[in-house]
Homo-oligomer: A and B are copies of this chain.
Amino acid sequence: MASTLSRAIGSFPNRFDPGGMSALPEHLQETIRRRDEVLGPGYLLMYREPVEFVSGYGAHLIDHEGNDYLDAYNNVPCVGHAHPRVVEAVSWQMAAVNTNTRYVQEALVDYAERLLATFPQELSKLSLACSGSEANDLAMRVARYHTGGEGIIVTRWAYHGITREVSSFSPTLGTGSPLGPNVRLIDPPDPRLAAPGSTLAEHMRSQVRGAIDDLERHGFRLAALVTDCAYSSDGIFTDPVGYMKGVVEEVHAAGGVYIADEVQSGFARLGDSMWGFSRHGVVPDIVTMGKPMGNGVPLSGVVFRPEVSEEFGRNVRYFNTFAGSSIPVAAGAAVLDVFEEENVQQRVLENGNALRAGLEEITRESSYVAEVRGSGLYVAVEIVKDNDTLEPDRARAEEFINDMRNRRVLISGTAKGANVLKIRPPLAFSTADVARFLETFAEVAKVRL
């Protein structure tokens, strides 16, 4: 079966290969067969031996047999699996009522005010949606409407979502999803890509300038530059910061807007700030957010400078039935409660620093590790055939990921070469979790690195 997979699907890191089916426990084989029958070939699983969980708490997931897995991968349950604060708030709201935004809901207004208070004051209008894809789709509709342009710039292996529009500027989806003729790609902010003697800031600015020139030469005025502030699918590049100032100047000079995609990097994931863009000292024109926003209850959002969204709001009908209704709003508000009560951002900063320091210590001597990088609880370990050539080593990365899984610690992979370990635990990751993670990582590193 594996051989019939397209390049687009085949490039997905750490996917379960149905060719390995016969090695699985019988019950799992049966469920996977039934699953394929009803969901079809597009529904990929992770790991050589896929996993099923029946409960969870904090950064822990429990399987049928009661085995405790350390979750160092899932960003949606940001305040922790099955956090009682969120469970209680949503259960209570569901038992009361769920109405949409065509009715007055004081809780929605309260939530919008609280959420906007975490942004710079220039970003003062909120729209809600159901998924990160819907948020990015709406952001681009507004960007096109406001600028009158069509051109879109994203990084070379970016992922922004799966609507028709958003998949047209998500190159990581591969050849099965063609990019639009109005889309140009630039390098992600990997300092190693800057020419000798040049800075990352100079490199990024010239990349954006070049993309704008090429768009204009093809008759496309710029609508927007969109960046994932953690560059997740490009391989996770969070530092150094500061290059965005010049980049945004180029975008504005061309009449475009800057959309910060915070679906991955937002909600304190990067530790030193609530939002990834803040680390760069810029204020975007539009910010999108999603995954962790409702701790698993579908909820996403778009925040605008009012001068960017005003005309769209006045002239274009946009009603999203579920978005902003009472259930997701209850979830979103409970997440903000936990952020305050548990001082989540500070915990992310401290445990993220400890995690990276430990990983650097373990991998320092290995010629198979090009770099440990990241910020807060978003950490990358780049696996290469040799740290002189930096040639990606997908096979070694996948062995590593599956060895970790077999020791009951969940991570996965990213980057075009599928060779970068993606370590992105729930923000509930504790000091004890860091210790368990590093212990297991060191065991696997002895064999693989």
Q: Is the CB of A327 within 8 A of B97?
A: no
Chain B residues with CB under 8 Å of A328's CB are 298
Shortest beta-carbon distance from A321 to chain B in Å: 6
Q: Is the CB of B314 within 8 A of A5?
A: yes
Q: Is the CB of A42 within 8 A of B127?
A: yes
Shortest beta-carbon distance from A42 to chain B in Å: 3
Shortest beta-carbon distance from A146 to chain B in Å: 13
Chain B residues with CB under 8 Å of A173's CB are 316-317
Instruction: Indicate whether A207 reaches chain B with its CB closer than 8 angstroms.
Output: no
In the assembly, what is the distance between CA of A53 and CA of B8, in Å?
Answer: 48
Q: Is the CB of A316 within 8 A of B52?
A: no
Q: Is the CB of B164 within 8 A of A163?
A: yes
Interface residues of A in 275-313 (CB under 8 A from B): 290-291, 296-298, 304, 306, 309-310, 312-313
Per-residue B-contact encoding for A22-64, CB less than 8 Å = 1, 0 else: 0000001001101101111111111000111111100001100
In the assembly, what is the distance between CA of A176 and CA of B315, in Å?
Answer: 5
Interface residues of A in 149-183 (CB under 8 A from B): 162-165, 167, 173-174, 176-177
Instruction: Indicate whether A322 reaches chain B with its CB closer than 8 angstroms.
Output: yes
A46 to B, closest residue via Cβ = B102
Q: Is the CB of B127 within 8 A of A40?
A: yes
Task: Name 12 A/B residue pairs within 8 A (Cβ), A-sorted.
Answer: A39-B108, A39-B112, A42-B314, A43-B101, A45-B104, A52-B104, A82-B94, A87-B94, A131-B320, A176-B317, A177-B316, A297-B297
